[in-house]
Amino acid sequence: MQRPVSAGPLAGLRVLELSQIMSGPTCGLLLADLGAEVIKIEKLPGGDDSRGYRDPQVNGVSAPFMMLNRHKRGLALNLKLERGQQVLKRLVENADVLVENFRLGTMDKLGLGYDTLSAINPALIYCAITGYGRTGPYADKGGFDLIAQGFAGLMSVTGEPGRPPVKGGNAVSDMNAGILATVGILAAYIHRLKTGQGQIVDTSLADAALQQTYWHAAVWFATQRSPQPTGSAHLLTAPYQAFEASDGWINIGGANQANWERICEVLGHPEWRADPRFASNSERMAHLDELVERINAVVRTRSRADWQAAFDAAGVPAGPVHTIGEALSHPQTLARGMVVETVHPQAGPTRGVGCPIHFSATPTPASTAAPLLGQHTRDLLREAGYGDAQIDELIDEGVVAQAA
């Protein structure tokens, strides 16, 4: 069987994804959406731990697993067995990239570390996503999104003032680590095109969370004062936050003086422009509670749609605070192809979040559903040169598994 022909700017790039749950699968999903052939190699027994996330599920299949693993082919492999390690080494011979998010040292203990695999394929780009990176006193620690958000200080600036620490509503360090891994892989690929040389790409949940603190870090470096939580408000400018309308919340972005003056007009209070408490951004930040109280009192009198129309007409950045359902069903979201439909062999028709990057010359390929555990095991082993009798033997020995 021939390898599948793909489209997209990364067509022809072959990726082995030995990762699970979120950070590594996010990287693999982005690469697949950009046209790479991504082979998801899952552990035996059980596969990716997110297969066990049964709430919610669709016809018995984990919805979180399907979200992050569409457009990949699946091979189930027991890397604890010597013959399983031999299978991976054979796959590495013709791979461009390997992505893993194990604890530091796990692959080396299996005899599958970078030194071993790069000796087989010197052009291999080996991407490792760990909790804290491959160096430093915390290198040996495992990583979890919650722990990384706390470590990086994100939880100290999230939520409302005076309340307990709050983590981001999404797994920001996990997902950002996957994005940074993708960026690193593409940079390493450009280097390889120039030199033929592979290398290690090293990022972590902690690095990914720290990278999200740019503005807050600027405050700390300049003043030696750690910023505090500000709810939906901006750290540096006002008014720039959510306000309560009669039927929900709307964000208003007064990010500069001109926008502030337009806001005053739309709200029917042009006198606020000359009020010494609100005349400049510095004064507005110093009197933020008073400013928010006055704006909220006005905004509550009309609906989100009314205010949206008024702010749009005045050229003021504004937008509703959507629920997830509202966001995913919005005409703008749909027009951008940010919702994709696939047909899963067990779950049936499903939807997922589409590729957030768009190209004029190399459009991204149509998406396929996440694989069943071992769905493409036989095809992939055939492509690697194994005969059917050999594959049957590997299945009988528990080295690999194929979907029923």
User: Whole-angstrom Cα distance, residue 69 to residue 66?
Assistant: 5
Q: Are 149 and 204 in contact (CB under 8 A)?
A: no
Q: Is the pLDDT of residue 340 over 80?
A: yes
pLDDT at 3: 60
pLDDT at 169: 95
Instruction: Read off the pLDDT of each residue in 41-62 and give the average, rounded to a whole number.
Output: 94
* Sequence-ordered alpha helix ranges (H) in 166-237: 172-195, 205-211, 214-223
Q: Is the pLDDT of residue 404 over 90?
A: no
pLDDT at 55: 85
Tokens representing residue 156 in the block: 């100290």
Q: Are 81 and 110 in contact (CB under 8 A)?
A: no
Q: Model pTM?
A: 0.94
pLDDT band of 4, cuts 50, 70, 90: low
Instruction: Read off the pLDDT of each residue in 212-232 and give the average, rounded to a whole number.
Output: 97
User: Whole-angstrom Cα distance, residue 369 to residue 345?
Assistant: 8
pLDDT at 54: 76
Mean pLDDT lowest for which of 47-56, 61-70, 221-230, 263-272?
47-56
Please provide the CATH number assigned to the domain covering 14-212+331-401: 3.40.50.10540
Q: Are 208 and 176 in contact (CB under 8 A)?
A: yes
Q: Are 211 and 179 in contact (CB under 8 A)?
A: no
Tokens representing residue 83 in the block: 């013959």
pLDDT band of 368, cuts 50, 70, 90: very high
Q: Is the pLDDT of residue 242 over 90?
A: yes
Chain-wide mean pLDDT for the chain?
A: 96
Residue 396 a catalytic site member: no
CA dihedral 210, 214, 216, 222 (to 10 degrees): 110
Q: Is the pLDDT of residue 347 over 60?
A: yes
Q: Which of 174, 202, 306, 312 is labelled catalytic?
A: 174
pLDDT at 247: 97
Q: Which amino acid is at 375?
A: Q
pLDDT band of 1, cuts 50, 70, 90: very low
Encode pLDDT of 195-208 as tens digits. Answer: 999 999 999 999 99
Encode pLDDT of 162-206 as tens digits. Answer: 999 999 999 999 999 999 999 999 999 999 999 999 999 999 999
Tokens representing residue 268 in the block: 């029917």
User: Whole-angstrom Cα distance, residue 88 to residue 99?
Assistant: 13
The domains of the chain are located at: 14-212+331-401, 240-322
pLDDT band of 213, cuts 50, 70, 90: very high
In order, the DSSP letters of 84-126 are HHHHHHHHHHT-SEEEE-PPTTHHHHTT-SHHHHHHH-TT-EE
CA dihedral 253, 259, 261, 265 (to 10 degrees): -70
Please provide the CATH number assigned to the domain covering 240-322: 3.30.1540.10
Instruction: Read off the pLDDT of each residue in 358-385 and give the average, rounded to a whole number.
Output: 96
Tokens representing residue 173 in the block: 């360090």
Encode pLDDT of 290-332 as tens digits. Answer: 999 999 999 999 999 999 999 999 999 999 999 999 999 999 9
